[in-house]
Every structure is written in structure tokens, then in C-alpha cells.
Amino acid sequence: MSKTAIITGGGSGIGKATALRLAEEGVNAVIVDVDSESGEGAVQELKDKGVDAIFIKADVSKKEDVKRYVDQTVDHFGGIDYFFNNAGISGSGGHYLDTSVDEIEQIIGINLLGAMYGVRYVAEVMVKNGGGSIVNTSSSAGVIGQDSVVTYSATKHGIVGLTKSMVAEYAKDGLRVNAIAPGPTETKMVKEFYEANPKMKENATGGIPQKRLGTPEEVAELVTFLFTSKAQYINGEVIRIDGGFTNTK
């Protein structure tokens, strides 16, 4: 029987690359995104690959939207095998004391509360059905401190705590929860961030031992491995994929 994955932020970047990679393994997808055009486009590409896919428009910072995408997934596919808890925003790149309270609330709402709502409702379904696998997207800024991303970094450190503590409570119920910590990656979000903060791109690339940004497809390989490989004893890990960036800190 085919497996089903929910992918938030699935209309572009790492989310879309992962959906397409999972399709190669025959995994059906629920693409969750706030952007209808990119979300519907991703669904068509997935259907062209021969898997079933649906798009659900949702703002993950709203708990009612999160509950709705979980309920619609269960209604359509009957259950949830994999959850790539990936949606996020970076913020403006300003120093913390120059950041508005509205921006702080927006980043926390999407990156942390959105992720926690997702785990709350998805894990409830998974535990009821005997288990499942969740991969949360943290960041290099979730394992070290970084300049100009204080709120973003705080949310991504929170993802690490969410990941580890869920395993402590629910591994016995068949739940696997891991996190990935990508370094700077060639996504639309990162491109826009660096266009607004060009000095930060120079600093980041110079600090990566491999001297380049990662690609969404490289991150997708890691997520696919965590979901579909036989390495089912990996649980509660935060796996860095950053070209050695945080290894030198």
C-alpha cells in the first residue's frame, strides 16, 4: 500500500524538492502552502510522476488551518505515514533591537507555533494508527547562535527541543521524530534574504568549508532517507546538512 506524506511549505524550495523525491519512492503527497499557485503547480508535477497528490492552502500559524489540513489528509488518504514539518520564514535580517514586535510574533507564529500545531495534530493521528515518522526542519541557526537572526534562531532552537521531547514521550507508541538542520540553501526564501542582506551571503559562503550553498535536492535526499530507508532506529536526532558550516563553530 502506498505511503502518504504531508509536506508544509511544499510549494517551493526544500519542501517541493522533497515531495518530488518522495514521489520517486511512490509516496503520495499532501502539499500544504500559503501560496496557491506554487502549491497547485507542485501537485501537478507530482501527478505527472504517477503519485496521488492534493493541495491544501493553509497558514500554519493558525491552529484551525493546521487542524483542517490534517483532517483533510485523513479524509482523502485514510492516514498519515510521514510528516515533513517544514514551513518557515527567515525575517528581515535586522538586529534584534531593530526588529519590530510584529515581525517577532510573525516569525514565532509560523516557525515555532506552526510546527508545534502540526506535530500536535499529526502525531495524534499517527499514535492512534500505530506510529509514523516526522521530520522537523530546524536550521544551522538552531544548533549555533547566528548574527541578525535572533528570533529565527530562537524558533529553530525550539524545533530541536520539540523533536527530542516528543521522542521521550512517544517513541514507545511507534513515533519517530527527527530534525534536519540545513545550512544556507539555494531556496527562494534564502535568495530573497540575501538580496536584502548581501553582506550576509558573503559571510555565510565564506564560512562554509565546501564554499557553496546547499541545494534543496541535497536536503530532500536526507529527508527521504529518514522517512523511507531501513534505518528505523534513528530517533530524536538533529542532523546537520550544511557543508561543514556549523562544524567549524
Work out how many domains the chain is built from and give that number.
1
DSSP state of 176: E
Residue 85 lies in a domain: yes
74 assigned to some structural domain: yes
Q: What is the CATH number of the domain that holds 31?
A: 3.40.50.720
Residue 6 has pLDDT above 80, yes or no: yes
Residues 41, 87, 151, 181, Cα dihedral to 10°: -110
Q: Which residue has the cell 550553498?
A: 213
Please report the pLDDT score of residue 200 as a whole number: 67
96 is catalytic: no
What integer is the mean pLDDT of 79-97?
A: 96
Residue 107 within any structural domain of the chain: yes
**197 pLDDT tier (thresholds 50, 70, 90):** low
Within a domain: residue 112?
Answer: yes
pLDDT at 198 > cutoff 80: no
Query: Of 69, 152, 170, 194, which is the active-site residue?
Result: 152
Distance CA 14, CA 85 (A): 11
What is the mean predicted confidence (pLDDT) over 34-57?
A: 98
Mean pLDDT of 137-162: 96
Residue 61 has pLDDT above 90, yes or no: yes
Domain housing 141: 4-186+214-239
Q: Of 15-19, 40-44, 61-65, 190-194, which range is least confident?
A: 190-194
pLDDT confidence band for 188 (50 / 70 / 90): confident
C-alpha to C-alpha distances, 79 to 4, 76, 116, 123, 155, nearest whole angstrom: 7, 8, 19, 11, 28
Q: Which residues contact 44 (CB under 8 A, 6 or more apart)?
A: none
Compute the average pLDDT of residues 222-235: 97
With a cut of 70, say whether residue 154 has pLDDT above it. Answer: yes
Q: What is the dihedral of CA 188, 219, 199, 197, to 10 degrees?
A: 30
Q: Could you tell me if residue 165 is inside a domain?
A: yes
Instruction: State the average pLDDT over residues 70-87.
Output: 98
Q: For CA atoms 8, 119, 50, 222, give the dihedral sign.
A: positive
The reply to whether 223 falls in a domain is yes
- Asked whether the predicted pLDDT for residue 178 surpasses 80, the reply is yes
- Look at residue 56 and tell me if it is in a domain: yes
Please check whether residue 157 lies inside any domain of the structure: yes
